[in-house]
Amino acid sequence: MKQLIRPILAIEKIAKDTFQLDLELELEELEAIKPGQFIHIRVRQGSEFMLRRPISVADVDLEAKKLIVIFKVFGEGTKVLSHLKTGDLIDIMVPLGNPYPIENLEIDRALLIGGGVGVPPLYYLAKSLVQKGIEVTTIIGFQSQKEIFYQKEFESLGNVYVTTDDGSYGRQGYVTDVLKHEKLNFDYYFSCGPEPMLRNVKKYLHYFPGYISLEERMGCGIGACYACVVKSADGKKYKKICTDGPVFKASEVMI
Ligand SMILES: Cc1cc2nc3c(=O)[nH]c(=O)nc-3n(C[C@H](O)[C@H](O)[C@H](O)COP(=O)(O)OP(=O)(O)OC[C@H]3O[C@@H](n4cnc5c(N)ncnc54)[C@H](O)[C@@H]3O)c2cc1C
Ligand code: FES
């Protein structure tokens, strides 16, 4: 992990309250970043925002030498980030957390299930799986049509189902409704999104091996403050999302 100060190549609003941020990094820095990892962003210098904000890596473009993240404005920190401009410098810690363990995964088909701000890390994962010759089906869920992003990008990699809570686009309902009604063929699943969604995904897919990525609140991001703990599946121990995760075997944690 390194602390870097790097320029913003581009910042663009891609959906309601949702921004794509492209950062310039060196090739060797980009090559160290794996799907499922996150960066920890210092909102701005000074004492106002002591805690950094964790944001998942959405993509790594080795040719254009850029790291891409996608974030939604939730509170003051992400609001400040949304006002950054091309050329501004940004202070990040990168890469943090454990990636999806796909290097030695020998499977034919993967199912990816993402909800809201849990969708971005699945894009870099989908690209990496397809590069390994693995067939990818993706289910992405949003509150409404206005919040949807990256549908076309996922469609360029495989079959995609889109759900909206209010039915304004795609199928009405939750990502788990697709699991209920479609016959999907896959060997492994990977999921990221809000905790209630992950809980239901785990419930429906408990016969399948899978990984989930948790995006709960964080403090230090490096294992020092215990702000990010989740209970292990046996309920006896705690795991830190920042250093033991954010990616966990679905059977490993209690959510
Ligand atoms: C490993 C990890 C990866 C993440 N990846 C992404 C990503 O790719 N894109 C993205 O948009 N967000 C992501 N998040 C969530 C993001 O970090 C928070 O939305 C952000 O820190 C909120 O900061 P803020 O200052 O805007 O809000 P705050 O002022 O800190 O909080 C404002 C509101 O946002 C809610 N909130 C704060 N943190 C979270 C959270 N982690 N999850 C849900 N609600 C939260 C609070 O409950 C509050 O209502 C990730 C979080 C983690 C831990
Ligand atoms: S955020 Fe500090 S221990 Fe995880």
Q: How confident is the model at residue 195 (pLDDT cuts 50, 70, 90)?
A: very high
Tokens 């869920």, located at residue:
141
Q: Are 158 and 179 in contact (CB under 8 A)?
A: no
What pLDDT score does 186 carry? 97
Lookup: tokens for 141: 């869920």
What pLDDT score does 47 carry? 75
| C-alpha pair distances (Å), 70 with each of 7, 57, 87, 148, 185 | 16, 8, 18, 12, 29
Lookup: tokens for 159: 């079959």
Q: Which residues line ligand 1 (CB under 6 A)?
A: 38, 53-56, 69-72, 74-78, 117, 120, 215-218, 246
Centre of ligand 2 to C-alpha 244, Å, is 10
**What does the radius of gyration of the chain's CA atoms come to, in whole angstroms?**
17
161 CB-side CA count, 13 A: 23
Centre of ligand 1 to C-alpha 136, Å, is 27
pLDDT in tens, 205-222: 999 999 999 998 899 999
- What predicted TM-score, i.e. pTM, was given to this entire model? 0.96
The residues facing 78 across adjacent strands are: none
DSSP class of residue 99 equals P
- 3-state DSSP call for residue 77? helix
For residue 153, count other CB atoms closer than 10 A to its CB: 15
CA of residue 178 relative to chain centroid, distance: 20
pLDDT in tens, 25-64: 999 999 999 999 999 999 988 778 889 999 999 999 999 9
Mean of pLDDT values over 133-140: 98
